[in-house]
Amino acid sequence: MNSYERYMAVVQGGSSDILPRVPILMAFAADYIGSNYGKFAADYRVLVEANLRCVKDFGFDQVSVISDPYRETQGFGGEIEFVEDGVPRLLAPPLQDTKELSSLKRPNPYESERMLDRVKAVEALAEAVKGEYSILGWVEGPAAEAADLRGVMNFLIDLMDDPEFCHSLMALCSEVGAEFAIAQLKAGADTIGIGDAIASQVSPETYAELIFPYEKRLVDHIHAAGGLVRLHICGDITHLLPKIKELGVDILDLDWMVDAAYAREVVGPAAVLVGNLDPVADVQYGRPEDIAVKLKQVYEAAGNPFLAGAGCEIPKGTPCENLKALCRPIRHV
């Protein structure tokens, strides 16, 4: 089996020779090719080169276009500053001092500079490896994008004080996210990642009432367009798992603080779980022999269907032998 066949077999509920490996690489990948995070985020050609080099050298099964949270935000009118060795900076949230949605620009995946750059990255990856490796597109979830547009503190206050505004804002973010996702699917992605990190910081009630409906709308649009969905919410989402189950995502990332056995119990036997070693304590600073053992333990706890990975991005500075240990083949049982 090649990597694409292996990945699709497991995601579709079948059997595979080994577990597909789907680590998230950004700063590590940029550094590995002698570049930097700023160039990786600013120029799709650097991102593509880094992904292609790493997937060949470390032996995993999916390339991706994830880089930073401000693709759509720039399309909405946010001004972005690129930092050589750091995540791009949003100089000021576009809705920091207003709730007038009409003040925002309307993002267009084929015209907004940073959204188009990501679409071009998908196209380049598809030209190079489509059918050989899975290609992961990426969009911001409705809550994450709303927090980018308003500022995190403003948005968290809005969730308590102005739910009607939150409904309007996240409806817009979900609509734009769907358009961006569909553009990436047309460019050659088979799966769309949804990053909605801020959701881990809210109560189950707030998530169910205000955030879930717009995540669900986004997931349904991606499915209707023929794509698979990988949901990535950084942090502890244990309290949200019963409602997340209802989203119907194909793949659910678990950060390291979520118990894999409990997650399986809650979300059921059909959801594909991504194994969740601590990216820092286990992968960056662990020993290669321990990484392989811990990953097998998580697999045993979670059961099938399962993809091998860490709880979040592999940090820059992780020893190459440690990433190789994370990607060491584990027999699919």
Count of alpha carbons within 13 Å of 253, Cβ hemisphere only? 28
Q: What is the average per-residue pLDDT within 245-272?
A: 97
Q: pLDDT by residue (tens digit) across 169-193?
A: 999 999 999 999 999 999 999 999 9
Can you give the pLDDT at residue 1?
95
Amino acid at 20: P
Q: Residue 84: what are its φ and ψ, rounded to 5°?
A: -55, -50
Shortest CA distance to 265 belongs to which of 242, 288, 233?
242
Mean pLDDT of the region 58-76? 98
* Whole-number Cα distances in Å, 40 to 30, 81, 87, 279: 6, 13, 10, 20
pLDDT averaged over every residue in the chain: 97
Query: For the chain, what percent of residues have pLDDT higher than 70?
Result: 100
* CATH entry 3.20.20.210 includes domain 3-326: yes
Where does the pLDDT of residue 208 fall: very low under 50, low under 70, confident under 90, or very high at 90 and above? very high
- Kindly state the average pLDDT of the residues 268-289: 96
- Return the pLDDT at 333: 87
pTM reported for the whole predicted model:
0.97
H-type alpha helices, the chain:
3-11, 27-32, 37-42, 44-58, 71-75, 113-129, 142-150, 152-161, 163-187, 204-206, 212-224, 241-244, 260-267, 288-302, 320-326
Q: What's phi and psi for 106, nearest 5 deg? A: -100, 110
**What is the rounded distance in angstroms from the CA atom of residue 144 to the CA atom of residue 17?**
36
Cα 64 versus chain centre, distance: 9
| Residue ranges covered by each domain of the chain | 3-326
Q: State residue 276's pLDDT score.
A: 94
CA distance to 41, 42, 85, 142, 316, per residue, from 38 (Å)? 5, 6, 6, 25, 13
pLDDT > 90? residue 15: yes
* Contact indicator for 115, 143 with CB cutoff of 8 Å: no
**Local structure of residue 186 (DSSP, 8 states):** H
Contacts of 86 (CB under 8 A, 6+ apart): 37, 38
**Would you state the pLDDT for residue 161?**
97
